[in-house]
Structure 1
Amino acid sequence: MHVGLGLPISDPTVLLDWARRAEAGPFSTLGLLDRLAYDNPEPLIALGMIAGATTRIKIQTEVLIAPLREPALLAKQAATLDLMSGGRFVLGLGVGGRADDHVASATDMRTRGRRMDEQIALMRDLWSGKPHSADCGPIGPAPYRPEGPETLFGGFQPAALDRVGRFGGGFLAAAAPSWAGGLFDTVRRSWTAHGRDGAPRIVAQVNVAFGADEVVADARASMGAYYEFSGRADYMLAGMLTTPDEIRTAITQFADLGADEVMLYCYGRDADQVDRLADVVG
């Protein structure tokens, strides 16, 4: 079982400190979420900075809201980050669900699922070196591997889960162990139904805050603000893990469900959490 860290979004200036500490610890991956109409760092730029400050740890969008972006440019950005990081980039993708993001990007929220399917197909063609269209040739650079960066798909609806089987890669599950197992099973059935070899990579995510009361309070305030739009902020905050036993138990539960990696997502800015969490999982 690999364990990664989801990075806080409330202060971009602390992220390089987090990254360097995580690189020195037992963590496998650094993840960063995506919004447009919100006060968070742009993930591809931030992860590019982090890639330059590290040498071992993977960097991952968790998830990038693909329908907000033009696909040819996104393919170029992802290939560049994948190549320059030595293949450490993991492209987690989702359709999102916040109307203001689509207002800001002048995209149609109603067609976001179909748009992302089209984007994935085009990006994979471009990564393989195919021309963009009859009027436009290939778009480089080539990614680290011909098939492009490792791709994960997030979501809960049947169409979202089925993308894992349709396009390959893996599943990013932002769900508690109590109901993640059903999602894992659905993704595995999709994988088999689409004739994929092997098995999908399963990456789970759980929200944590570990430290003094002020650290936990900072995390709760940041996470509550992020989920305020949903009307379910209290529910999300109730699932935040704040003790070593809670964190270790969740990791064990996800391992028992067959997850390959667990991302401990942190909303609190205190970088000392990295060292404390390293002691918990080490």
Structure 2
Amino acid sequence: MDIGVLLPTGTAQWGPADDPRELIAFGRTAEAAGFSSLFVNDSLVSPRVEALTMLAALAPVTGTVSLGTAALLPFLRRPVQTAQSLASVDLLSGGRLVVSVGAGFPGRFGRPLYALSEVPWPRRFTRLDETVALWRAVWAGAGSFHGDLLDFPDLPPATRPSRPGGPPIWLGGATPAALARTGRMYDGWLPYPPDPADYADGLRTVRDAAADAGRADRAITPALFITVRVDDDAPAGDRALDAYARTVYGMPLEELRKIQALVTGPADHVLQHLTRYVAAGARHLVVRLAALDLRSQHEQLERLAALLPAVQAAAAHRTPT
């Protein structure tokens, strides 16, 4: 069982006096507290420290944690250059990189970003899958790549990642098409369904698709992205989570709860909710802390760290699924 934390790289999660260089200390504190991974997200909609820059800064100052993206948006970057950047981070971290990717979705977090990147919105999922296949070809030393949308007849020699085959690549998303694509060609699944039962159903579909493709389901890491706030006063936790939802997403908590995994309340309530996803099959939790300044992020990190042994114990007592 792995439990990681999402670093607050966006300015919406910083207070007026916060120094973004404190994110390095935050990552080191999380590693010392027992978290097994550090993740960053990616966007051009809101100002933030660029995802791969943040991971490159963390690589030499951490020792054991995985360093991941949740999720990287490949269409924001040139595909061959991104393969080089990812290989470089994997090398600098000694093979600790995990790359979760997504294609964006309709609304302010999707189509406008494609316009900024001068990439067409249609066939975005084909473009994503081909980009991942291109990265793997570059890392393998292939001299060319030919897809429906991406065509590189003459690939130059490139930096090889630390691990043969490159870092594991996970897919975010829970549509039927995303589940099938995860099973066929990705190394992990990182959705955020509000209901653990939906997670269990999705994981079964992923594993069925893997079996149909002749892949072992154990090759696919079942992960979960979830937003957490530990608060002894449940109504106060709801108010804080609502403020977070409005600040980060521009929507009230009741709307965000319909589309994302969220939990707030006393420690025992948060633990119970997390273990429901563990029972549904999740084996790598990526936790986003619902706080709007770095001091509060540190406080939430400490409160969540106190729950790590209990979550690990819950996973240890579950029959593998």
Q: TM-score scaled to structure 2, two decimals?
A: 0.80
Partner of 1:100: 112
CA distance in 1, matches of 2:124, 2:130: 10
CA distance in 2, matches of 1:79, 1:215: 40
Classify the secondary structure of the residue corresponding to 1:110: coil
Shift of 1:63: 0.7
Does the 8 Å contact 1:94/1:154 carry over to 2?
yes
Q: Could you list the runs of 5+ residues in structure 2 that have no partner in the other structure?
A: 15-19, 145-151, 310-321
2:241 pairs with 1:224:
no
Shift of 1:87: 0.9
Match for 1:194 among 213, 216, 235? 213
Shift of 1:36: 1.4
Classify the secondary structure of the residue corresponding to 1:235: helix
2:277 pairs with 1:257:
no
Which range moves more in the overlay, 73-82 or 11-20?
Answer: 11-20
Does the 8 Å contact 1:210/1:216 carry over to 2?
no
Partner of 1:110: 122
CA distance in 2, matches of 1:146, 1:191: 22
CA distance in 2, matches of 1:120, 1:172: 16
CA distance in 2, matches of 1:232, 1:217: 10
CA distance in 1, matches of 2:253, 2:121: 22
Classify the secondary structure of the residue corresponding to 1:145: coil
Shift of 1:186: 1.2
Q: Name the aligned partner's letter for residue 58 of structure 2.
A: I
2:204 pairs with 1:185:
yes
Partner of 2:256: 236
Does the 8 Å contact 1:152/1:170 carry over to 2?
yes
Classify the secondary structure of the residue corresponding to 1:117: helix
Which range moves more in the overlay, 204-213 or 266-275?
Answer: 204-213
Shift of 1:220: 4.1
2:200 pairs with 1:157:
no
1:136-175 matches, within 5 Å, as 136-138=155-157, 140-175=158-193
- Superposed CA offset, 1:135-164 (max 9, x none): 3322x2100112110111101222222222
Q: TM-score scaled to structure 1, two decimals?
A: 0.90
Compare relative contact order (CA 8 Å, sep 6+) and give the higher one, 1 or 2: 1
Q: Name the aligned partner's letter for residue 255 of structure 2.
A: Y
Partner of 2:305: 278
Shift of 1:226: 2.7
Match for 1:75 among 83, 91, 102? 83
Does the 8 Å contact 1:248/1:281 carry over to 2?
no
What is the Cα-based RMSD across aligned positions, in Å?
Answer: 2.2
Aligned in 2, Cα 1:124/1:174: closer, same or farther, shift over 3 Å? same
Shift of 1:96: 0.8
Shift of 1:218: 5.9
1:15-26 matches, within 5 Å, as 15-26=23-34
Q: Name the aligned partner's letter for residue 221 of structure 1.
A: A
Does the 8 Å contact 1:219/1:266 carry over to 2?
no
Q: Name the aligned partner's letter for residue 210 of structure 1.
A: V
Which range moves more in the overlay, 264-273 or 116-125?
Answer: 264-273
Aligned in 2, Cα 1:278/1:99: closer, same or farther, shift over 3 Å? same
CA distance in 1, matches of 2:276, 2:268: 12
Q: Could you list the runs of 5+ residues in structure 1 that have no partner in the other structure?
A: none
Partner of 2:7: 7
Aligned in 2, Cα 1:246/1:109: closer, same or farther, shift over 3 Å? farther
CA distance in 2, matches of 1:219, 1:167: 35
1:51-90 matches, within 5 Å, as 51-90=59-98
Aligned in 2, Cα 1:224/1:261: closer, same or farther, shift over 3 Å? same
| Aligned sequence identity (%) | 29
